[in-house]
Structure 1
């Protein structure tokens, strides 16, 4: 499956990622989960910015595996995706025009459903992993 591109500048992606992770660090449930795994916040933000530029702009600068990272973390629970998405949606709304925020939110929710599915069901077969 592929997603239609929507108009957004790489700088807007970087702004959203930085603002989102500032919110994550202050979040009572998400902050401690991320703090266990992320020691280099600027480096993490660069990596996640590359993820979103790949997902939205079709740039090929991301080489990670989000499903494996979330499954292997050991402390990510399915209910946390609700908090993640709520914070992400609030960040999008605060930093982007409404139509861009809505389109990016739809993509984030679809990816979140796939990650939640992988964490809940422990999907191990690549053919079973929902495509983003």
Structure 2
């Protein structure tokens, strides 16, 4: 039985990550937070990690071995309100890079990841409304 080819090539994932995070770095709200968290010299390593992450998410390669929740918990400036601009930039990038069905696949996965991170980082059932 033949194994179907991956839905996204490594080159497509590389382009997605590089294009998207170039936009994040220029974003007036997201850029400063990422620059502080990643550091000026940390971008090559961070981008390589993100490429492994998205390869694992999109093609189930298992290349990513980290913990996104733990990483995001270490960013004190991260607020729930920053997820929307992040997702907007991400969707915009996907629509520009992929046909509609594949852009939707990536976008839906990003939405689920964002929802999971927001729940893990900000959900407090004991908070008084």
From 107, 110, 117, give the equivalent of 1:108.
Answer: 110
Equivalence for 2:21 = 21
Aligned length: 119
Provide the aligned C-alpha RMSD in A: 1.8
Secondary structure at the aligned position of 1:100 is classed as: helix
TM-score scaled to structure 1, two decimals?
0.84
- Residue 31 of structure 2: aligned partner: 31
Q: Within 5 Å, which residues of 2 pair with 1:23-102?
A: 23-39=23-39, 40-102=42-104
- The one-character-per-residue Cα deviations of 1:55-97 (angstroms, maximum 9, x if unpaired) are 1111121111111111221111011011110000001111111
In 2, the alpha carbon distance for the partners of 1:72 and 1:117 equals: 16
Query: Under a length normalisation based on structure 2, what TM-score does the superposition of the two structures give?
Result: 0.86
**Structure 2: unaligned runs, 5 residues or longer:** 1-5, 125-129
In the TM superposition, residue 50 of structure 1 has moved relative to its aligned partner by 0.2
Q: Distance in 2 between matches of 1:72 and 1:41?
A: 17
Runs of 4+ aligned structure 1 residues displaced above 3 Å come to none
Aligned 1:116-131 pairs, distance under 5 A: 116-121=118-123
CA distance in 2, matches of 1:74, 1:63: 23
Higher relative contact order (CA 8 A, sep 6+): 1
| Alpha-carbon distance between aligned partners in 2 of 1:104 and 1:81, rounded to the nearest angstrom | 16
Equivalent in the alignment of 1:9? 9
Larger Rg: 2
State the Cα distance separating 1:121 from its structure 2 match. Answer: 2.2
